[in-house]
């Protein structure tokens, strides 16, 4: 999901939230809210996973201590040459 679509999804989630607080939602709106929430969480998790996979961890002695799982993901993406 690109940034523009993410903004639209977030805005609609917020709109439905406020409507729910004020007067309640129809069954269709409740279903839409659930689907948008799932979409938002999936996008968030994908971005978070990407960020973790791209992170290199160095300890205080200057030694790399990145997990093997992250190293494999980085190699697969061509970010590592070791």
**Residue 16 pLDDT > 90:** yes
**Whole-model pTM?**
0.75
pLDDT, tens only, 41-57: 999 999 999 998 899 99
Confidence of residue 82 (pLDDT cuts 50, 70, 90): confident
Which tokens go with 22? 């004020």
Structural domains of the chain ordered from first start:
3-76 (1.20.58)
pLDDT(1) > 90: no
Tell me how far apart the alpha carbons of residues 49 and 35 are, in angstroms, rounded to a whole number. Answer: 21
- For residue 58, the cross-strand partners are 64
């Amino acid at each position: 999901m690109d940034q523009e679509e993410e903004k639209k999804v977030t805005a609609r989630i917020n709109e439905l939230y406020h409507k729910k607080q004020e007067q309640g939602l129809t069954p269709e709106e409740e279903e839409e809210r659930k689907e948008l929430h799932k979409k938002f969480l999936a996008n968030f998790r994908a971005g978070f996973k990407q960020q973790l996979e791209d992170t290199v961890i160095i300890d205080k002695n200057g030694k790399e201590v990145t997990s093997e799982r992250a190293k494999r993901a980085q190699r697969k993406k061509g970010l590592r040459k070791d």
